[in-house]
Chain A
Amino acid sequence: MNAVVRVRGLVRNFTLKGVLNGVDLEIAQGEFVALLGRSGSGKSTLLRAIADLDTEAKGSGEIVAPSKLAVVFQDARLLPWKRVLENVTLGLTGPDVRARGLRALQEVELGTRDRSWPYELSGGEQQRVALARALVREPALLLADEPFGALDALTRLRMHALLKRLSQAHHPAVLLVTHDVDEAIELADRVVVLDDGRISATLDVRLPSAGPEREDAFADLRRQLLGLLGVEAELAGVR
């Protein structure tokens, strides 16, 4: 496969936080991978290592990742002293910076809010601006660290649809870290489970496009993943 991201034997140690114990992972060009795992399994650690943000970590292993990447954090991290459009175009170079920024905002349905201050926006809107900021520079790799974790359930559903649409339009490789099994199945081409510091399972997501077969396949995948995560299907309840 034409891998955009290659991770080999990654080991990361912290005194208190997540431990990685030899992680192997590859992400192909344009592939959407969801990373599932229990709290403290090291999902964020793995993402931050790929994003080259873990300068203080100790460990070993090899990581190959594009330098043209974009990260969406769990908090939107908009600069409060810049208006929405300036946040989107932060660090953007090349021609027509403003026009590209406006177009990105329109894609996330915030085209009219370009002159707003971040504090005037709701949490979901701020996260949409963060998405626009990430995608306006057409990254080869999009890293999303539980981007919808702080949002309410309804907003989260709308964001799923938005992210799906955006990733189909721009085709970056995506690594989505999430604890939400449904989110992972809905959005990803492949779901990997991180357990005990290693990738314990990989599931390809192949869903029929619509209808009862899709629901069945969805439920089946959900059952498998919950099982791999150590959650009994009955405990999860009927959805």
Chain B
Amino acid sequence: MNAMTSNVLDIAEELPGDAPIGRQAQPSITPPRRRRRLGLGEALAFGPLLGPGILLLYWCVFSYTGWLDPRILPAPWTTVATARDLIADGRLPTNLAVSAVRAAEGLVFGVIAGLAMALISGLSRLGGYMFDSLVQMKRSIPTLALIPLVILWLGIGEPMKVTVISLSVFIPIYLQTHNALRGTEIKYLELAETLNLSRWAFLRDIVLPGALPGFMLGLRFAVMGAWLALVVVEQLNATSGIGYMIDLARTYAQTDVIVVGLVVYALLGLCSDAAVRFAEARLIGWRKTLS
């Protein structure tokens, strides 16, 4: 365009962001910003299934190609067929029910005991002096080492099994909850004092909700501990439960049944952990963290 005649048109047509007509257009787009993102990136809907999915894929491929001897580890489809048989003749459901109930009882008793002791020791100086060292002492003794003593005291029936599971559950509950209670921030304590909160209101509105994330973490460890203790306890003189089913299969060299049992254990662990995480997300929706 002719530079002279375009003067008026320049003014008329110059809009914010546009390059003025008649003059050399300035590049108005800067190179896209490249900020290094430090967060975890967006979560995918079924993301957590990726790990097990890949493992399953490996298993299928190795079994199919014959690289994996079926006597060492049965193929996935054999395992599924065996599982179907076990469900059909009722062995899997009954044993599963027994194991699940055992673990649940151990979990409930362990959580109650751990929570009660953590509240006493976490919320009072004297309580702490009484319980904390004792629990730290117990903590250094593996539950497995205590089994002979427990058998001596309680025999080999259900009470013994539930007690051993409770012992494994109560330690992480106690440790995490005690830590979370004692970790209540001073700034909230000061706030409570200036608001003249009663001791009960302070516990209910500040200490306990603040300690809830710690307790939930302890619960995840406790659930894991419950399953591990269950496996151990069911290897000893069990007459029912998944462990018994596996033990029996070992006697008869039924590898496929063993694998089914192990897969059941794994699924139980995975599902219960997911359940705790779900509860955690519902109860602690007020946090802004990486997840």
Contact status of A53 and B190, CB under 8 A, knowing A80-B286, A81-B210, A119-B286: yes
| Interface of B: prevailing SS | helix
Which of B62-70, B120-128, B193-201, B228-236 lies at the interface?
A: B193-201
Q: Is A90 an interface residue (CB 8 A)?
A: yes
Partner of B188, one of A70, A77, A118: A77
Nearest CB to that of B192 among chain A residues?
Answer: A91
Residues on B with C-beta less than 8 A from A51 are: 194
B209 touches A91 (CB 8 A): no
Contact status of A79 and B201, CB under 8 A, knowing A67-B196, A71-B194, A90-B195: no
A27 to B194, CA, bound (A): 19
Produce 1/0 per residue, B245-288, CB < 8 A to A.
00000000000000000000000000000000000000011111
Residues on B with C-beta less than 8 A from A119 are: 286-288
Produce 1/0 per residue, B165-203, CB < 8 A to A.
000000000000000000000011011111111000100
Residues on B with C-beta less than 8 A from A137 are: 195
A91 touches B187 (CB 8 A): no
B194 touches A81 (CB 8 A): no
A75 touches B209 (CB 8 A): no
Q: Is A98 an interface residue (CB 8 A)?
A: no
B209 touches A79 (CB 8 A): yes
Partner of A69, one of B190, B194, B206: B194
| Interface of A: prevailing SS | loop
A69 to B187, CA, bound (A): 17
A53 to B205, CA, bound (A): 20
Which B56-95 residues have C-beta < 8 A from chain A? none
Produce 1/0 per residue, B196-226, CB < 8 A to A.
1100010001100110100000000000000
A71 to B205, CA, bound (A): 18
A90 to B191, CA, bound (A): 10
Chain A interface residue count, Cβ-Cβ cutoff 8 angstroms: 22
A117 to B55, CA, bound (A): 41
> Separation in Å of the A119 CB from the closest CB of chain B?
5
Which B102-139 residues have C-beta < 8 A from chain A? none
Q: Is A170 an interface residue (CB 8 A)?
A: no
> Separation in Å of the B37 CB from the closest CB of chain A?
20
Partner of A77, one of B187, B210, B287: B187
Residues on A with C-beta less than 8 A from B194 are: 51, 53, 69-71
Residues on A with C-beta less than 8 A from B287 are: 80, 119
A69 to B191, CA, bound (A): 12
> Separation in Å of the A54 CB from the closest CB of chain B?
10
Partner of B201, one of A71, A77, A82, A91: A91
Residues on A with C-beta less than 8 A from B201 are: 91
Apart from A79-B206, A91-B195, list 11 A-B contacts with CB within 8 A.
A51-B194, A52-B193, A53-B194, A71-B194, A73-B187, A77-B187, A79-B205, A81-B286, A91-B201, A119-B288, A137-B195
A-B contact pairs, 5 of them (CB 8 A): A53-B190, A77-B188, A79-B206, A91-B192, A91-B196
